[in-house]
Amino acid sequence: MLAAGITDRLPNIPGVRDWWGTGVLHCPFCHGWEVRDEPWAYVAPAESAVERATLFSGWAKSLTYLTNGGPRPTADQVKWLKDHQVAVREEKIAGLDGKNGRLDTVMFDGGQPLAVRAVFVHPEPIQRSELPKKLGCKVLTEGRQAGIVETDAFGATSVPGVYVIGDASSTGMMNVTGAVSDGSMVGGAVQHALVKEDVEQS
């Protein structure tokens, strides 16, 4: 049973690493309460602009989608965002600023600064251990779970006898409580598999 977890590879945006965990966040359910009813911004690929806006709705005083100079959303996406009071800024991000440990500004390469309390990003998950790869476990290569080991509901990988739990697995929740629950459930599945193997070999 592998429980090495993942590492967050942050987007290469000036200031993101400096403000990570205080003003730059990844999940409204994990961190949104502390910055609720404040101006938020988020960085995401154009194809995820609407999905992410839906996720953040109801939390923030105002919401701004930052393309960071990337591809522009489609006309339908722009209309949806406008209809739902989500502003769009297309300039490349030049940096983040704040004072006393509180993020308050996004600066751009051209254009006016944006007042915010939080900027949400989606880090790329990187396996902390090379073991799944070395053992030949199937790893997802596309979408938001790229880099995560593919598992079934009980943590079993594509390699018999190898289980992965927690946020390194495709079915694990990417938080501490989810990983703990995962460990309990998958531990039972491993025990069942071992007993079954003993019975079949006896």
Domain CATH code at residue 176? 3.50.50.60
Q: What number of CA atoms fall less than 13 Å from residue 27's CA on the CB side?
A: 7
Tell me which of 74, 90, 120 is where a domain ends.
Answer: 120
What pLDDT is recorded for position 5?
A: 84
Is residue 88 a part of any domain in this protein?
Answer: yes
Secondary structure of residue 14 in the 3-state scheme: coil
Label residue 102 by pLDDT band (50, 70, 90).
very high
Is residue 63 a part of any domain in this protein?
Answer: yes
Range 87-92 average pLDDT: 96
- At 117, the amino acid letter reads R
How many CB atoms are located within 10 Å of the residue 184 CB? 9
What pLDDT is recorded for position 25?
A: 97
Number of domains the chain is built from: 2
Q: What number of CA atoms fall less than 13 Å from residue 198's CA on the CB side?
A: 6
Q: Is residue 111 located within the same domain as residue 145?
A: no
Label residue 172 by pLDDT band (50, 70, 90).
low
Q: Is the dihedral of CA 46, 48, 52, 54 positive or negative?
A: positive
Tell me which of 74, 95, 120 is where a domain ends.
Answer: 120
Q: Is residue 23 located within the same domain as residue 116?
A: yes
Q: Is residue 115 located within the same domain as residue 151?
A: no
Q: Is residue 143 located within the same domain as residue 183?
A: yes
Tokens of 49: 């602009």
pLDDT of residue 105 exceeding 90, the answer is yes
Strands (E), 124-194: 124-127
Is residue 49 a part of any domain in this protein?
Answer: yes
Which residue range forms the structural domain that includes residue 178?
129-201
- At 82, the amino acid letter reads K
Is residue 1 a part of any domain in this protein?
Answer: no
Label residue 136 by pLDDT band (50, 70, 90).
very high
Pairing state between β 118-120 and 24-25:
parallel
Q: pTM for the whole thing?
A: 0.82
Q: Is residue 138 located within the same domain as residue 95?
A: no
Q: Are 2 and 131 in contact (CB under 8 A)?
A: yes
DSSP 110: S
Tell me which of 102, 120, 138 is where a domain ends.
Answer: 120
Q: Is residue 41 located within the same domain as residue 93?
A: yes
Q: Is residue 155 located within the same domain as residue 86?
A: no
What residues does 62 pair with on adjacent strands? 39
Q: Is residue 134 located within the same domain as residue 64?
A: no
Q: What phi and psi, each to the nearest 5 degrees, are found at residue 12?
A: -80, 75
Q: Is residue 162 located within the same domain as residue 194?
A: yes
pLDDT of residue 149 exceeding 80, the answer is yes
DSSP 90: -
Strands (E), the chain: 6-9, 24-25, 39-43, 62-66, 86-89, 93-99, 102-108, 114-115, 118-120, 124-127
pLDDT in tens, 5-36: 888 889 999 999 999 999 999 999 989 999 99
Q: Is residue 73 located within the same domain as residue 20?
A: yes
Is residue 2 a part of any domain in this protein?
Answer: no
How many CB atoms are located within 10 Å of the residue 190 CB? 17
Q: Is residue 107 located within the same domain as residue 21?
A: yes
